[in-house]
């Protein structure tokens, strides 16, 4: 009891010293995920800031257990954080060996390492369009040629066209499932067959950063067996730790070694505070369940509005919705819709499928999504 009290006092003092007196008052009870510390978003809103629906973050994160662990870890900030305890936790959680795991400052670091390791100059990288930019972008910067295969009319990966695009020149195939920005997912059996076939010719990177939003089979078991398949995962999405930068790759032990060989300091890739946050988050599955429920609720609010207004969209399996902007006059100028939203203090992303403009909106709280829909109503033709 004394221990708990003194820790609580320490946390309050730390927050007060950091200018967070109001927050310190809110801290002592971390029983409910939504009533502990204010999130950066809540703080921004209190200060008249923007509604942040542009980066696919979790509005509820970090989890209460993660917040507490982070505050405690501050005390160890003078010590290097060997990643092994987190690697062991992840390995146990995912049912793989520690040798199959590489930690990174976000999954983006792992995607970058995969490009560095395999996307050599003059080779080709096959990816969908649109999809998450990091791996194709790094590959381009390394001198590889990125072959972009447009998603189909249902905003789904066109696997048949991707297969045809793979040749002897292909070094890497990137598959994001569920896909950012479209929110679409492929069947596990389809992905598995695709990976098995394509990995005979190239390294297949399966980006499962949004996989926590679905219950389908992961490609992790395949990746541990097949040296040409790499899976990437993240604590940035459902675990609500985007700003802490914790991601990881899972692959065959030999492939992990190749990626680690290109990493500046793989044993210390993330900070004490980030490591504490990730370890505690894994143990806070109640927070994950709450987040999944609330995010689904938000998605339903936007999807129902699109349906009622005949706005083209497809079912999303991530914390995003991608919908067509045909009915929004501001989108006639590229970026015009995003600017208009910004004038209403809402940040979203605008993108293209062919010539057609789309809005990618990340799920905030249900209340925020109602606010978003109310603004949409005023902007529609
Ligand atoms: C599909 C996908 N992969 C990877 C990332 C990078 O995430 P992080 O580096 O925060 O783990 C993102 C970020 O939005 C993403 O959408």
Given a contact cutoff of 8 angstroms between Cβ atoms, the answer to whether 211 and 343 are in contact is: no
At residue 4, the pLDDT reads: 43
Of 58, 104, 105, 107, the one to substitute when testing ligand 1's pocket (max ligand atoms within 8 A of C-beta) is 107
DSSP string over 122-170: T-EEEEEESS-SHHHHHHHHTTPEEEEEE--TTS---HHHHHHH--TTE
pLDDT over 80 (residue 3): no
| pLDDT per residue as tens digits for the range 304-331 | 999 999 999 999 999 999 999 999 999 9
List the chain domain ranges: 1-30, 84-282, 287-379
| pLDDT per residue as tens digits for the range 181-215 | 999 999 999 999 999 999 999 999 999 999 999 99
Given a contact cutoff of 8 angstroms between Cβ atoms, the answer to whether 307 and 300 are in contact is: no
pLDDT over 70 (residue 33): no
What gap in Å lies between CA 204 and CA 222, rounded to an integer? 11
- State if residue 106 touches ligand 1 by the CB under 6 angstroms criterion: yes
- State if residue 108 touches ligand 1 by the CB under 6 angstroms criterion: yes
pTM, whole model, 2 decimals?
Answer: 0.89
Given a contact cutoff of 8 angstroms between Cβ atoms, the answer to whether 102 and 301 are in contact is: no
pLDDT band at 40 (very low <50, low <70, confident <90, very high): low
- State if residue 136 touches ligand 1 by the CB under 6 angstroms criterion: no
- State if residue 235 touches ligand 1 by the CB under 6 angstroms criterion: no
| 313 Cβ contact partners less than 8 Å away, ≥ 6 residues apart | 303, 306, 321, 322, 323, 324
Q: Which residue has the higher pLDDT, 249 or 24?
A: 249
Topology of domain 84-282, CATH:
3.40.640
Average pLDDT of the chain? Answer: 90
Token pair of 78 as six digits: 């003078």
At residue 49, the pLDDT reads: 81
Of 180, 269, 317, 361, the one to substitute when testing ligand 1's pocket (max ligand atoms within 8 A of C-beta) is 180
DSSP string over 51-95: EE-SS---TT-S-HHHHHHHHHHGGGTTS---SHHHHHHHHHHHT
| 151 Cβ contact partners less than 8 Å away, ≥ 6 residues apart | 128, 129, 130, 157, 158, 179, 182, 184, 353
Strand partners, 352: 357
Task: Tell me the CATH number for domain 287-379.
Answer: 3.90.1150.10
At residue 215, the pLDDT reads: 98
pLDDT over 70 (residue 335): yes
Given a contact cutoff of 8 angstroms between Cβ atoms, the answer to whether 232 and 110 are in contact is: yes
| 343 Cβ contact partners less than 8 Å away, ≥ 6 residues apart | none
How far is the centre of ligand 1, averaged over its atoms, from the C-alpha of 109 (Å)? 9
pLDDT band at 48 (very low <50, low <70, confident <90, very high): low
pLDDT band at 56 (very low <50, low <70, confident <90, very high): very high
How far is the centre of ligand 1, averaged over its atoms, from the C-alpha of 207 (Å)? 8
How far is the centre of ligand 1, averaged over its atoms, from the C-alpha of 195 (Å)? 21
* pLDDT mean over 86-108: 98
Residues of the chain with pLDDT > 90: what percent?
Answer: 87
Residues of the chain with pLDDT > 70: what percent?
Answer: 87
Q: Which atom of ligand 1 is nearest to the CA of 132?
A: 1
């Amino acid at each position: 009891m004394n221990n708990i009290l003194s820790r609580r006092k320490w946390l309050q003092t730390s927050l007060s010293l950091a200018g967070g007196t109001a927050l310190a008052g809110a801290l002592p009870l971390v029983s409910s995920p939504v009533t502990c510390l204010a999130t950066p978003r809540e703080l921004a809103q209190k200060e008249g800031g923007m509604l942040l629906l542009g980066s696919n973050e979790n509005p509820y994160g970090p989890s209460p257990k993660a917040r507490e662990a982070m505050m405690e870890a501050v005390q160890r900030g003078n010590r290097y954080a060997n990643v092994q305890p987190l690697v062991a936790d992840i390995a146990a959680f995912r049912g793989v060996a520690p040798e199959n795991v590489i930690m990174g400052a976000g999954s983006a670091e792992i995607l970058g390492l995969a490009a560095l390791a395999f996307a050599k100059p003059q080779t080709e990288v096959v990816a969908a369009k649109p999809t998450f930019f990091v791996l194709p972008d790094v590959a381009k910067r390394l001198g590889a040629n990125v072959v972009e295969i447009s998603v189909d009319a249902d905003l789904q990966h066109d696997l048949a066209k991707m297969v045809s695009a793979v040749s002897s020149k292909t070094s890497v195939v990137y598959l994001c499932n569920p896909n950012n920005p479209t929110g679409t997912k492929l069947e596990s059996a389809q992905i598995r067959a695709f990976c098995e076939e394509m990995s005979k010719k190239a390294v297949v990177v399966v980006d499962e950063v949004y996989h926590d939003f679905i219950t389908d089979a992961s490609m992790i078991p395949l990746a541990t067996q097949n040296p040409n398949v790499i899976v990437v995962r993240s604590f940035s999405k459902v675990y609500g730790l985007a700003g802490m930068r914790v991601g990881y790759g899972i692959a065959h032990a030999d492939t992990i070694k190749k990626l680690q060989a290109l990493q500046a300091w793989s044993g210390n890739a993330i900070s004490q505070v980030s490591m504490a946050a990730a370890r505690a988050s894994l143990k806070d599955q109640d927070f994950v369940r709450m987040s999944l429920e609330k995010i689904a609720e938000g998605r339903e609010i936007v999807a129902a509005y699109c349906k009622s207004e005949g706005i083209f969209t497809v079912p999303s399996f991530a914390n995003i919705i991608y919908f067509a902007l045909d009915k929004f006059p501001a989108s006639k100028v590229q970026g015009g819709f995003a600017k208009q939203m910004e004038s209403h203090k809402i940040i979203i992303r605008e993108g293209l499928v062919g010539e057609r403009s789309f809005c990618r909106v990340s799920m905030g709280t249900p209340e925020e999504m109602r606010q978003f829909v109310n603004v949409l109503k005023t902007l529609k033709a």
